Amino acid sequence: MGRKVLATPRSFGTGSQGAADLLARRGFDLRLNPYGRILTKAEMIREIRDAEAVIVGVDPLDQEVLSQAERLKLISKYGVGTDNIDAAYAAQRGIRITTTVGANTEAVADYAFTLMLAAARRVIPIDRACRGGDWTKTLTVDVHGSTLGLIGLGHIGKAVARRAKGFDMKIMAYDHLRDEDFAVRHGITYVDTLQTLIEQADFVSLHLPLNEHTRHLIGPREFETMKETAVLINTARGGLIDETAMLEALKAGRIWGAGLDVFEREPPDLEDLHTLDNLVIGSHCAASTRHAVENMGMMAVRNVIQHLCGEEG
């Protein structure tokens, strides 16, 4: 039996056997997620116990889990967000953490723009009405020529900005780390405060990590000062938004709509999510395209081979 590598993402290897074959050729024993969903802590402890590496999505890897993984040497993140990993404890144990930066950038940017269009133009309720025989015209809001506010201008934020230029959108960005050259080349205006962006943007799209400084970054005060025609988009992490405040704003019509692919708890247990026509929801699937899944799988596996075998994959 080879050295065990646990892969928990449900999409791992679904488009191609290339990543799995690469591990097999290096003598690794690949174990896939047997549950067909995000693992619980108890399940994760059981599955990771004898693994040397784990290729992980959003499954829990806190100190309690990692303390039971005595052979673990590498956490190969299938994506870029590491808020589900206790990085400090991993470092204390000498466990390396790698990510697949860039592997799913274009797929997530596509989905962010899809949510933007769907929420602005009420695509889902219009489709539902038409299927029921109701062909009433629905008045919606424009995307073309409107103002897009990007909170976070990293790889994915930049990819969304490039798409927005095709819609002649005015783009503003809020980010502590500024890429002035990119901003100048793409006509993006940096703002000094989050509140400025919130007040002026027609569309607010989140592209930043979840940590102690960004949790509930968008809360009651932000919803009170957004435009009534504003649309909020989140393909980053659910905890960035105070979901209770968001639902209140959507129900009261204080903002036009929202498109969310991520939630604080997945699946979410908020009943109003299923009844609001001004909300479009996804199952954390922005990166789930054939190309992105293959990219993430191959990059995650190459990280395993590089760090456990000392060679390129």
| Residues tagged active-site | 237, 266, 284
Cα torsion angle, 160, 163, 164, 165, sign: positive
CA angle 225, 231, 232 (to 5 degrees): 85
237, amino acid identity: R
Sheet holding 3-7, edge to edge: 28-32, 3-7, 53-56, 74-77, 96-98
Q: Are 226 and 203 in contact (CB under 8 A)?
A: no
Tokens 């699937």 belong to residue: 285
